Amino acid sequence: MSDPGFTPDEMMTIAAARALRNDDVCFVGIGAPSAACNVARLTHAPDITLIYESGTIGTAPDVLPLSIGDGELCETAVTTVSVPEMFRYWLQGGRITVGFLGAAQLDRFGNINTTVIGDYDSPKTRLPGGGGAPEIASSCGEVFITMKQSLRAMVEKIDFFTSFGHGVGGDAREKLGITTKGPTLLVTDLAVWKPDPRTKKFTVVSLHPGVTRDQVQATCGWQVAFAETLEETPPPTERELTTLRDLKARTEAAHRGEKAEAGAGGA
């Protein structure tokens, strides 16, 4: 296969960024979600409001933060509020349209584990934990998830329920009194997935360029469902790629204590 000119990670980040709207108020997770949200801000959604868990509102970082406590977030924010205010007034008050999360483990219903791999009392791996993700998953208007596909990450049954997606499917959220939509989008390095309207099981609606159904199934721990009309994800545009690569270059240089050279046509 010829080189498409972009990596699977770049395709994933850009496809996720495209899902955000200019008028969104978005609660951003660190890592891949942060990259996607800032690419959206630097391209088609300049007026998007990005909020991080540390209380920074309307932040516009020049480089991607290492953590929610990164000074870059506070320095570029419109304002910074206390964490209790962030969660009680902004999040639980229904003022955030999209929560953007990652996952260490994910099941077909969008339930997320970021706590432990293995038994909780004697885990194989102790993960960072939920942080604000459980509240984001239940209180944001809807949730987008982005992650790389692998058999270890996309599993039949997660080892721990950190953030509630659609539970066992169907109307599980409504039965618990949760009125928000929950996970409405999953973007991986291979495909774009959306939940079935009735069962809430994630279904592949779009394959990234050059990706096959077999590749998707080989890296997923459950039986994959494909949409009847399966589309191909539009490849990244030159502007999208340049914006992402410049952002990554600035970030790497900043974390080394250097200055990055601006790319041609960069953001």
Which residues are the active-site residues? 53
Question: 132: closest CA among 29, 33, 61?
Answer: 29
Please provide the DSSP assignment of 192-214 as one string. EEEE-TTT--EEEEEEPTT--HH
Kindly provide the residue ranges of all beta strands, DSSP E only, lying in the chain, ordered along the sequence: 25-28, 49-51, 56-57, 79-80, 98-101, 105-106, 112-113, 116-118, 123-126, 142-147, 183-188, 191-195, 202-207, 225-232
Q: How far is CA 2 from CA 6, 116, 239, 261, in A?
A: 11, 39, 21, 29
The three-state secondary structure class of 100 is strand
The three-state secondary structure class of 253 is helix
Angle at 79 between CA 17 and CA 50, to 5 degrees: 10
